[in-house]
């Protein structure tokens, strides 16, 4: 009797324990799912993220602290100013910019490329659009950092590569030009339904504009190789000219940031550390009666345009009455001011340069140059009469003696507010001339007064991807801001 009881109890215990184990496992499975996120998403949502990151990048610290000051558009105050003194003690900033560029555009566009090329979810059109965004993302990185992880870069998730090897900028440019060529070919006669209807922050899925955009970006990259790989540059430019390009301002790749506090220049104009426009910019605009002066620069409290000299030493800066100087213009720095990835004026001016140096055709070059200026003025809603007046001024005609400089200066003005791109143009062409700083009141920084030519690889990159980045540094000639990137032969 007692044995039977024991057996029953034992059996019951086993059953109870068995059941509880089973239900425990089930319960743990339920808890494993993250309730704060989804496990699947349409790649359109990641595409918009990548595109928006690109636009946001045109106002981030790479521009507000670095490129915008390097390119002598403005001088930032307080803790944002030191890069203007050509120092390099910005390890944390370098790291933030490096990881930020990868973590924003690249992270999401790599996922889009993965999804749109996977067997079940393949979409050639979306893939082609994503390629354009990916190229812009990588170009932004390589233009400032030189060699970067490219073929293995941004593939922490898609391919599980945690210590990506670096590619040379030469290779990266060759590949980017290929990718854009392929995209142009696909987009030229693609079915918009296969694109990103309702999920395209730039052109609202207008594939004709996308084609122009892709081809124009390709032209930009091709011209950037003018001194580094002349034959590829020339060949690519000719291919680009055979395809549609951005021609008027309706083709511009722009976006208005409506989320959060809107355009970040608004915060920079109204907040602290503030930004004051550069004397060099104001002098250029004032000296040529350029109607864009009132667009790019606000008057100071006295009603004048008063600029800040870039690169002042601490003593001179302290005595400069910085806070009373002219702010950025309202049209550039309102909450709803447009952000630019590329505009038609840039394309005209690129074509002017190409006509001048590749076709040796100053007449066409002049026409294209004037078209670039006109397009730029129209972009800022300048009155027609003012446009006519300006176009009739000597500034608006190539003089034949310093045409490249004229094109460079107009490029500098036309790119506003795409300051980051402008820094690249200045590095490549040397125009507008950013004088070497010799005035004892100026800070000569670590570059002996010469405009910095790149960002540094951060100590964190050196710690987390040591072998690869060390090789890249060695092959480029040192981790110094005075070392030019590959395409910068000037």
- Shortest Å distance, C-beta 288 to other proteins: 29
Q: What are 407's two structure tokens?
A: 């094109």
* DSSP secondary structure string for all residues of 183-204: HHHHHHT--GGGS-TT--TTTT
The residue among 17 and 433 lying less far from other proteins, judged by its C-beta, is 17
- CA distances to 93, 133, 193 from 147, rounded to whole Å, are 18, 19, 37
Q: Minimum distance from CB of 10 to other proteins (Å)?
A: 14
Token pair listed for 80? 């944002």
Which residue number, 53 or 416, has a Cβ lying nearer to other proteins?
53
Nearer to other proteins, 27 or 475 (CB): 27
Nearest distance from C-beta of residue 271 to other proteins, angstroms = 4
CB 324 within 8 A of CB 232: no
Cβ distance to other proteins smaller for residue 6 or 399: 6
Give the helix/strand (H/E) hosting 76: strand 74-76
Q: In the complex with other proteins, which residue's Cβ is closer, 268 or 410?
A: 268
Instruction: Please identify, using beta-carbon distances, which residue of 48 and 429 lies nearer to other proteins.
Output: 48
- Nearest distance, CB of residue 324 and other proteins, angstroms: 6
- CB nearer other proteins, residue 82 or residue 417: 82
| Beta carbon nearer to other proteins, 260 or 400 | 260
406: three-class secondary structure by DSSP: helix
| Selection from 186, 76, 139, 157 nearest residue 428 by Cα | 139
Phi, psi of 199, deg, nearest 5: -135, 35
> Is 95 or 442 the residue whose CB approaches other proteins more closely?
95
CA 169-173-175 angle, 5° bins: 115
The nearest distance, CB 149 to other proteins, in angstroms, is 4
Tokens describing residue 316: 């001179």
Strands (E), 96-224: none
Shortest Cβ 28–other proteins spacing (Å): 4
Q: Report in angstroms how near the CB of residue 157 gets to other proteins at its nearest.
A: 6
Write the CA distances from 390 to 72, 299, 314, 368, 397, integer angstroms: 23, 21, 38, 16, 10
What is the distance between the alpha carbons of residues 321 and 319, in angstroms, rounded to a whole number? 6
Q: Which residues pair with 278 in a beta bridge?
A: 308
User: CB of 471: closest distance to other proteins in angstroms?
Assistant: 14
Residue 65: name the closest of 34, 95, 41, 90 by CA: 90
What are the angstrom distances between the C-alpha of 77 and each of 67, 228, 316? 15, 36, 13
User: Which helix (H) or strand (E) is 387 found in, with range?
Assistant: helix 384-391
Angle at the Cα of 386 from the Cα atoms of 380 and 390, rounded to 5 degrees:
95
Choose between 99 and 249: whose C-beta lies nearer to other proteins.
Answer: 99
Cβ 263 to other proteins shortest distance, Å: 13
- The count of residues in the chain is 490
- DSSP states along 278-315: BHHHHHHHHHTT-TTHHHHB---TTSS--PBPTTB-HH
Nearer to other proteins, 235 or 304 (CB): 304
- Least separation in angstroms between residue 448's CB and other proteins is 14
Least Å from the CB of residue 278 to other proteins: 18
């Amino acid at each position: 009797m007692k044995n039977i009881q024991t057996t029953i109890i034992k059996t019951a215990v086993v059953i109870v324990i068995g059941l509880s184990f089973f239900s425990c496992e089930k319960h743990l499975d339920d808890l494993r799912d993250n309730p704060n996120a989804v496990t699947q998403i349409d790649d359109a949502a990641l595409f918009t993220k990548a595109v928006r990151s690109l636009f946001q990048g045109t106002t981030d610290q790479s521009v507000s602290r670095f490129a915008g000051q390097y390119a002598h558009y403005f001088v930032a105050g307080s803790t944002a100013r030191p890069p203007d003194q050509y120092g390099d003690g910005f390890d944390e900033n370098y790291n933030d910019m490096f990881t930020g560029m990868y973590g924003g555009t690249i992270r999401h566009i790599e996922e889009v490329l993965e999804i749109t090329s996977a067997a079940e979810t393949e979409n050639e059109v979306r893939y082609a659009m994503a390629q354009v965004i990916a190229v812009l993302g990588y170009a932004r990185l390589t233009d400032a950092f030189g060699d970067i992880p490219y073929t293995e870069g941004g593939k922490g998730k898609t391919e599980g590569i945690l210590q990506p090897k670096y590619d040379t900028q030469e290779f990266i440019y060759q590949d980017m030009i290929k990718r854009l060529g392929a995209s142009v070919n696909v987009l030229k006669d693609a079915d918009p339904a296969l694109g990103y209807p309702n999920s395209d922050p730039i052109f609202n899925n207008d594939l004709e504009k996308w084609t122009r955009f892709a081809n124009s970006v390709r032209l930009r990259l091709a011209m950037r190789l003018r001194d580094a790989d002349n034959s590829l540059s020339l060949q690519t430019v000719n291919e680009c000219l055979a395809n549609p390009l951005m021609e008027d301002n309706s083709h511009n790749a722009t976006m208005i940031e409506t989320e959060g506090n809107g355009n970040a220049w608004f915060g920079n104009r109204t907040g602290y550390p503030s930004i004051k426009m550069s004397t060099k910019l104001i002098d250029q605009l004032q000296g040529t009666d350029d109607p864009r002066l009132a667009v790019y620069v606000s008057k100071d409290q006295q009603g004048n345009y008063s600029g800040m000299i870039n690169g002042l030493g601490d003593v001179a800066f302290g005595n400069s009455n910085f806070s009373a100087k002219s702010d950025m213009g309202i049209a550039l720095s309102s909450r709803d001011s447009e952000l630019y990835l590329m505009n038609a004026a840039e394309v005209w001016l690129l074509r002017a340069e190409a006509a001048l140096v590749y076709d040796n055709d100053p007449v066409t070059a002049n026409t294209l140059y004037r078209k670039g200026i006109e397009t730029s003025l129209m972009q800022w809603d300048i009155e027609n009469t003012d446009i006519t007046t300006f176009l009739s001024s000597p500034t608006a005609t190539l003089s034949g003696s310093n045409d490249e400089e004229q094109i460079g200066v107009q490029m500098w003005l036309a790119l506003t507010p795409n300051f980051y791109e402008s820094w690249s143009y200045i590095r490549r062409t040397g125009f507008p001339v950013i004088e070497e700083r010799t005035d004892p009141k100026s800070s000569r920084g670590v570059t002996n007064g010469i405009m910095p030519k790149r960002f540094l690889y951060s100590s964190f990159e050196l710690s987390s991807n040591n072998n690869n980045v060390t090789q890249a540094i060695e092959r480029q000639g040192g981790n110094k801001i005075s070392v030019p990137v590959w395409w910068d032969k000037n």
